Structure 1
Amino acid sequence: MMASSLSLSLSRLAPALWWVPRGIVFGLMAFFIFGPLANMLLWTVAERWYFPHTLPAQYGFSAWQNVFAPRGGALESLRNSLLVAVLTVIVALMLAIPAGYALARLKLPVRGLILLAFLIPQAFPNLTVYVNIARIFYEIRLNGTVAGLVLVHVSHGLVYAVWIATAAFSAIDRELEQAARSAGAGPMRAFMDITLPLAAPGLMASAIFVFLESLDEFTGSYFVGAPDVTTLPLLLYTAGSGGNYQVASITALLLLVPSLVFMLVVERFLKADVLSRVGH
């Protein structure tokens, strides 16, 4: 009787004990993910923080004032980052929309090789690629210009633009275009009135990916843009390497917020039927 009651108690206790290792694993994951974020947020308001204090000894917002002061460089870096990112999105979409439509609709014999060709910039170490790009841009006077930065960012973000655009157009039923054509619409009219609006959510997600990639790009911006065109990642690197953790944390926060917001937007726009056609 006592043995049966003990086994019954253990059987009831087993499911509860099973959550113990799960809780430990989830707790460690939360610590490694949110711990650095919490440390960054503390540095943004820390006036004095030194060993052996676990938390800042003094809080304040003087670092924010210094960052956004005319000599702080944050506003200029933010303007440069947004300008380069917006121009990168425009150029990338101008190339990705016709390329994605052609890859989705035309029966190209080397379609797979064309898609793989857009991965070439990702296949090699960025450092070696950007060093040679910087040398070429210096010879043609594109080094240290916004146009040079945009070209570098487009070469890096075009893979997202083309692959997602191809998937977005592939997810649209061709019979809808054929119905518009049979009703008297020309090819361009059918594309503008039917295909493009239906592909707009996928293209929006593509634009957001390219925008975030450009906003966070450091290596290409360093070799091609610095010191004439300063972006937020360059300001973050300069502040971090100089030990100014308040400025580095504030700059990192400025980069983190749009990334989180836009990723939520991507999750809303990028549906499963589009994702299932990426690479097909």
Structure 2
Amino acid sequence: MTALTHSAPSRLRFDLWWLPRGILLGLLAFAIFGPLANLLLWAVTERWYFPHTLPLEYGFSFWARVFSPRGNAMESLTNSVIVAILAVAVSLALAIPAGYALARLKLPLRGLILLVFMIPQAFPNLPVYVNVARLFYEIGLNGTIAGVVLVHVTHGLVFAVWIATAAFAAIDVELEQAARSIGAGPLQTFRDVTLPLAMPGLMASAIFVFLESLDEFTGSYFVGAPDVNMLPLLLYNAGAGGNYQVASITALLLLIPSVGFMLVVERFLKADVLSRVGR
């Protein structure tokens, strides 16, 4: 009887411990999914104003307006995808040889070289892009796809080089030595052994660069606007003008590939690759 009496308060305290946990998890879920739910509501809203808690009228007329020829959504989406693909191609073309050299060769100041690739992230974007825009204007790159791609590559190289270096470093050197021992040359060994094994990490690197380019606003604004329409610029103009329906639809266009690609990254970027980042 005494044991039962002592166990009841302890069990009650144990049960009450889940109350703050539940409240904390509920607040966390609201912080994550609340803005997304609001975004989805605005995307299908026709009329919604204060003090009404929910929209007064639902519909898809704003979707038709966004994708109409005058809406610039298709042009912005096409430009964003083209720039992102070109940024991935240029970044990987530079990151694959750089990552292999940093992973395999005994380079002096290797850590400093890796740190140099992070310099574009170390300074505020605004003053950097103002000066880049002035320089590009003088050489004719301002307001061009090529200029926007170059700006996106400066940020994409951070992900590309670091992840490529980790992907190559995670490959066992003995596999390359075995291929060389049976007569394969350096280029053939790299093409048939090293590159296929590093491909999951390189794919993750390409996805990171693609998403970074797709969401880049500051560089696109200072270097591309108003000649090169991009989705982040369309989102900014719609939000600044108070057109929350158009802004929400544009945000969904940016969100869908981001979520899908991040699921792919989670599958390909394994712990053995991540553990070698920065080594």
Residue aligning to 2:136: 137
Residues 1:32 and 2:28 are matched in the alignment: no
Residues 1:8 and 2:7 are matched in the alignment: yes
Residue aligning to 1:275: 274
Matches within 5 A, 1:150-169: 150-169=149-168
TM-score scaled by structure 1? Answer: 0.98
Residue aligning to 2:115: 116
Residue aligning to 1:174: 173
Partner Cα distance (1:99, 1:234) in 2: 33
Partner Cα distance (1:10, 1:258) in 2: 51
Q: CA deviation at 1:11?
A: 1.6
Q: CA deviation at 1:89?
A: 0.2
Q: SS where residue 71 of structure 1 aligns?
A: helix
| Aligned-partner residue type, residue 59 of structure 1 | Y
| Aligned-partner residue type, residue 252 of structure 1 | A
Partner Cα distance (1:98, 1:185) in 2: 19
Partner Cα distance (2:4, 2:169) in 1: 62
Q: CA deviation at 1:14?
A: 2.2
Residue aligning to 2:184: 185
Instruction: Give the stretch that moved more between structures: 3-12 or 261-270.
Output: 3-12
| Aligned-partner residue type, residue 31 of structure 2 | F
Q: CA deviation at 1:16?
A: 1.5
Residues 1:220 and 2:219 are matched in the alignment: yes
Q: CA deviation at 1:51?
A: 1.0
Q: CA deviation at 1:15?
A: 2.1
Q: How far does the alpha carbon of each residue in 1:212-266 deviate from its partner, in whole angstroms, 9 at most, with x for none?
A: 0000000000000000001000000000000000000000000001100000000
Q: CA deviation at 1:52?
A: 1.2
| Aligned-partner residue type, residue 95 of structure 1 | L
Residue aligning to 2:210: 211
Partner Cα distance (1:85, 1:227) in 2: 18
Residue aligning to 1:236: 235
| Aligned-partner residue type, residue 76 of structure 2 | S
Q: CA deviation at 1:9?
A: 1.2
Q: How far does the alpha carbon of each residue in 1:107-137 deviate from its partner, in whole angstroms, 9 at most, with x for none?
A: 0011111000000000000001111100000
Residue aligning to 1:104: 103
Structure 1 runs of 4+ with >3 Å offset: 3-6
Q: CA deviation at 1:188?
A: 0.2
Partner Cα distance (1:223, 1:147) in 2: 14
Partner Cα distance (2:42, 2:85) in 1: 30
Q: SS where residue 68 of structure 2 aligns?
A: coil
| Aligned-partner residue type, residue 182 of structure 2 | A
Partner Cα distance (1:66, 1:237) in 2: 17
Q: How far does the alpha carbon of each residue in 1:131-150 deviate from its partner, in whole angstroms, 9 at most, with x for none?
A: 11000000000000000000
TM-score scaled by structure 2? Answer: 0.99
Residue aligning to 2:58: 59
Residue aligning to 2:195: 196
Partner Cα distance (1:190, 1:151) in 2: 32
Residue aligning to 2:253: 254
Q: SS where residue 143 of structure 2 aligns?
A: coil
Partner Cα distance (1:115, 1:12) in 2: 54
RMSD: 0.9
| Aligned-partner residue type, residue 116 of structure 2 | A
| Aligned-partner residue type, residue 183 of structure 2 | G
| Aligned-partner residue type, residue 83 of structure 1 | I
Q: CA deviation at 1:4?
A: 5.3
